[in-house]
Structure 1
Amino acid sequence: MAEDPLALVTGASRGIGAAVAQALAPTHRLLLGGRDSDALAEQAGRLPGARPWAVDLADPEALREATAEIDRLEVLVHSAGVAELGTVEQASAQAWRNNLEVNLVAVAELTRLLLPALRAARGHVVVLNSGAGLNARPGWGPYAASKFAARAFADALRAEEEGGGLRVTSVYPGRTDTEMQRAVVAGEGGEYDPERFLRPESVADAVRAAVTASGDAHPTEIVLRPRPAVP
């Protein structure tokens, strides 16, 4: 009996990444990526066929060691990310570097290391982007720049690999009810109302739809926005 396909989901300990792992669990074996090994172990205990994959994506040597064991990978979902905001006047050079290091460089390097495994499976790469990757708002410059760059990365990867059967999907969720969003709203000085935002499960459903699309289809971009409450 053939094994279920293997999916690696980064940022899987909470938020959108955890929701994506739960959405894929019925059909995939899972590697749950993240830095918090205890949280990953707890999450893996709730999902049959899942195991923790604890690694710091910004550590090149640790990343090389962790990916060396993977020789075939059907799905790679990039959900890990940071959001350091600020105006161009206020944001430090380090804030720009931090966003780019996690939201772009780590994504590119992890994908590069796993390309042989993805090619072997004619696999699928999903990049969880953001509405900020389509429209840069005032005060969001460092984060938006990293997400525009992630969009360019996904476009380049798709152009280079599509002929070999690799699918690449960028997902652009609007603001989503996560711990990161709570921190952003606190920084903006606003009152947090989860009803204003997408649910992580809604974003995960979009990822699952892309991953399970029929073989003749290549879902290249998915844009999601919170739906206004209807009185």
Structure 2
Amino acid sequence: MALHLLTGAGSGIGAALAARLQARGDDLILLARSDARAAELRERFPGAQTIVADLAAPGELAAALTRHDLPGRLDSLLHVAGVVDLGQVAELTVAKWASQLDVNLVAPAELTRLLLPALRAAKGQVVFVNSGAGLRAAPDWAAYAASKHGLKALADSLRAEESPHGVRVSSVYPGRTATAMQERVHEQEGRDYDPAAFIDADSVVTSILTVLDLPRDAQIPDLTIRPGV
């Protein structure tokens, strides 16, 4: 039975991934930004352990983890949580730059650092759910794309560094997916939102499980998913 630590399990891809992992009998540790959200996650995913830690405050993650008796072995660390605020470079505030970089890049880097001993002990893997914006940047997406380009760089460096320890590292790049985040993006873009026009979150989860379940003689460094015809 595998043990996974997962961010972003409250909605969208993260919630769908947590549900699929639990349905097949895997154990979950779920990161929650508040006590209230942690209670919601425990009710939604009975038996899951929760850790209250705010990704918007990466410098506090170490202290948050020390308040819990975490296992010495971890089969996977799944970075799914993210935030997005659109805006042109001429208009983006420092606060919007900082919030997206903290949640989307600095927090995953710090959480990975803190959990590497347990991942090494299990010869586990780290999966970064990135974005198409991590491969190309469009107008109004500068801050979000910068955070996701940085996440790709983090994954690439980590993969090379951790290979001697037997830790696999993968990046998954979904196109636009039908989630609450996508609905918010459409609000910012001033466009009507039709979830049927985008990838279903469960389809992205199927690709993530493929990455996780690949036999140990191989790994998938990068996987891009796009909407079907």
TM bracket, shorter-chain basis: over 0.9
Deviation at 1:28, TM superposition (A): 1.5
What code does the residue aligned with 1:207 have?
I
Structure 2 residue corresponding to 1:53, chosen from 51, 54, 77 = 51
Number of residue pairs matched? 225
Match of 1:9 in 2: 6
The CA deviation string for residues 39-74 of structure 1, in whole angstroms up to 9 with x for no partner, is 443343343542222211233564223433322111
Match of 2:85 in 1: 84
Match of 1:135 in 2: 136
Equivalent-residue separation in structure 1 for 2:76 and 2:177 (angstroms): 23
**8 Å CA contact 2:51, 2:65 repeated in 1:** no
Match of 1:168 in 2: 169
**8 Å CA contact 1:127, 1:169 repeated in 2:** yes
Unaligned runs of 5+ in 1: none
Pick which of 27-36 and 80-89 moved more. 27-36
Match of 2:99 in 1: 98
**8 Å CA contact 1:30, 1:51 repeated in 2:** yes
Pick which of 108-117 and 196-205 moved more. 196-205
| Paired residues for 1:69-218 under 5 Å | 69-70=69-70, 71-218=72-219
What code does the residue aligned with 1:22 have?
A
1:175 alignment partner, SS class = coil
RMSD over aligned CA atoms reads 1.6
Equivalent-residue separation in structure 1 for 2:222 and 2:187 (angstroms): 30
What fraction of aligned residue pairs are identical, expressed as a percent? 48
**8 Å CA contact 1:9, 1:32 repeated in 2:** yes
**8 Å CA contact 2:58, 2:102 repeated in 1:** no
Unaligned runs of 5+ in 2: none
The answer to whether residue 65 in structure 2 is matched with residue 64 in structure 1 is no
The 1:96–1:60 alpha-carbon spacing in structure 2 relative to 1, beyond 3 Å, is: closer
The CA deviation string for residues 26-45 of structure 1, in whole angstroms up to 9 with x for no partner, is 14200111214444433433
Deviation at 1:22, TM superposition (A): 1.1
**8 Å CA contact 2:28, 2:49 repeated in 1:** yes
**8 Å CA contact 2:34, 2:54 repeated in 1:** no
**8 Å CA contact 1:74, 1:124 repeated in 2:** yes
The CA deviation string for residues 137-175 of structure 1, in whole angstroms up to 9 with x for no partner, is 111011000000000000000010012100001000001
Give every structure 1 segment of 4 or more consecutive aligned residues whose post-TM-superposition deviation is greater than 6 Å: none
**8 Å CA contact 1:129, 1:172 repeated in 2:** yes
The 1:194–1:88 alpha-carbon spacing in structure 2 relative to 1, beyond 3 Å, is: same
The 1:127–1:38 alpha-carbon spacing in structure 2 relative to 1, beyond 3 Å, is: same
Structure 1 residue corresponding to 2:17, chosen from 7, 15, 20 = 20
The CA deviation string for residues 165-193 of structure 1, in whole angstroms up to 9 with x for no partner, is 00001000001111111111011111111
The CA deviation string for residues 187-211 of structure 1, in whole angstroms up to 9 with x for no partner, is 1111111111111111111111111
**8 Å CA contact 2:87, 2:142 repeated in 1:** yes
TM-score (norm 2): 0.92
1:172 alignment partner, SS class = strand
